[in-house]
């Protein structure tokens, strides 16, 4: 029975020229996760990696901390585990009257991350409600179907531990399917997932079941400074 560890990438580079790479904190988070797995005696038999740079960088830092070189473990790249196009969501949202100016004003304030999150939440709500699918290259339902195909491929014929390096939206879509969450709750869950946290899925004769969601106790105590959500 395979055990899938759906690992959210470490912190990406917010407000940088290239968002799709780990920040300094994100690299530390990913390394610490690997050290934690090593201390628990958990190691992958298979690695499945989304196609984004932050996915691969997280995987490399985690495996290096586990003393597992990428070429010593069965590795598969699968873009089905890629995150949704957050840029496209924001472009559709800021095309609405006045929204671009509101976003820029809020991001120029004392807490640009909070300002961004407020508008991004509104942009995502507009996407998931399904009323404006023509505005997006990939609709919410298409995204969820893509992730579901990735999940089925990940469990097909597998044994042992499978580390899946992916993003919060994809992990939330898995939880939506397995728990029967509505779209609003799924979006809320995606914002609560910790960077370099993991969700565990078990697959067996009884089907695919969630064993845990958003495990991040490895950032408790003296490692608290490593915890982030954005």
Q: What is the mean pLDDT of residues 147-167?
A: 93
Query: What does the pLDDT look like over 41-98, one tens digit per residue?
Result: 999 999 999 999 999 999 999 999 998 776 678 899 999 999 999 899 999 999 999 9
Residues 6+ apart with CB under 8 A from 192: 214, 229
Confidence (pLDDT) at 114: 80
What percent of the chain stands above pLDDT 90?
71
Q: How many CB atoms lie within 10 A of CB 158?
A: 18
**pLDDT at 17 exceeding the cut of 70:** no
49-63, 101-115, 138-152, 179-193, range with the lowest pLDDT: 101-115
Q: What is the mean pLDDT of residues 182-204?
A: 93
Q: Long-range contacts of range 220-229, CB-CB < 8 Å, 24 or more positions apart?
A: 223/32, 226/25, 226/28, 226/29, 226/32, 226/196, 227/194, 227/195, 228/11, 228/25, 228/29, 228/194, 228/195, 229/191, 229/192, 229/193, 229/194, 229/195
Measured CA to CA, the distance from residue 194 to residue 43 in angstroms comes to 21
- Domains defined along the chain, listed by start: 3-83+158-226 (3.40.50.1240), 85-137 (no CATH)
Q: What is the mean pLDDT of residues 18-42?
A: 94
Confidence (pLDDT) at 68: 77
pTM for the predicted model, two decimal places: 0.91
**pLDDT at 225 exceeding the cut of 70:** yes
**pLDDT at 26 exceeding the cut of 80:** yes
**pLDDT at 208 exceeding the cut of 80:** yes
H or E segment at 62? helix 53-65
Report the interhelical angle of 140-155 vs 168-179 (nearest 10°).
Answer: 80
Confidence bin at 206 (pLDDT 50/70/90): confident
What average pLDDT does the chain have? 91
Confidence bin at 193 (pLDDT 50/70/90): very high
Confidence bin at 108 (pLDDT 50/70/90): confident
Confidence bin at 15 (pLDDT 50/70/90): low
């Amino acid at each position: 029975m395979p055990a899938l560890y759906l690992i959210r990438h470490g912190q990406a580079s917010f407000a940088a020229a290239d968002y799709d790479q780990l920040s300094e904190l994100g690299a530390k988070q990913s390394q610490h996760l690997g050290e934690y797995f090593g201390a628990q005696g958990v190691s992958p038999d298979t690695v499945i990696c989304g196609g984004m740079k932050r996915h691969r960088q997280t995987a490399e830092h985690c495996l290096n901390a586990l003393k597992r070189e990428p070429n010593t473990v069965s590795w598969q790249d699968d873009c089905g585990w890629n995150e949704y196009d957050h840029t496209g969501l924001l472009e559709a949202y800021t095309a609405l009257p006045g929204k671009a100016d509101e976003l820029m004003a809020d991001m120029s304030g004392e807490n640009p991350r909070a300002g961004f999150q407020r508008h991004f939440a509104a942009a995502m709500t507009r996407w998931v409600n399904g009323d404006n699918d023509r505005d997006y290259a990939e609709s919410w339902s298409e995204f969820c179907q893509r992730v579901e195909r990735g999940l089925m491929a990940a469990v097909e014929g597998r044994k042992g531990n499978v580390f899946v390096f992916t993003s919060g939206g994809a992990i939330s879509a898995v939880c939506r399917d397995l728990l029967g969450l509505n779209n609003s709750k799924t979006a809320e869950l995606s914002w609560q997932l910790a960077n370099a946290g993991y969700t565990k899925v078990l697959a067996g004769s009884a089907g695919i079941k969630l064993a845990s969601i958003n495990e991040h106790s490895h950032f408790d105590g003296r490692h608290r400074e490593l915890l982030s959500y954005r």
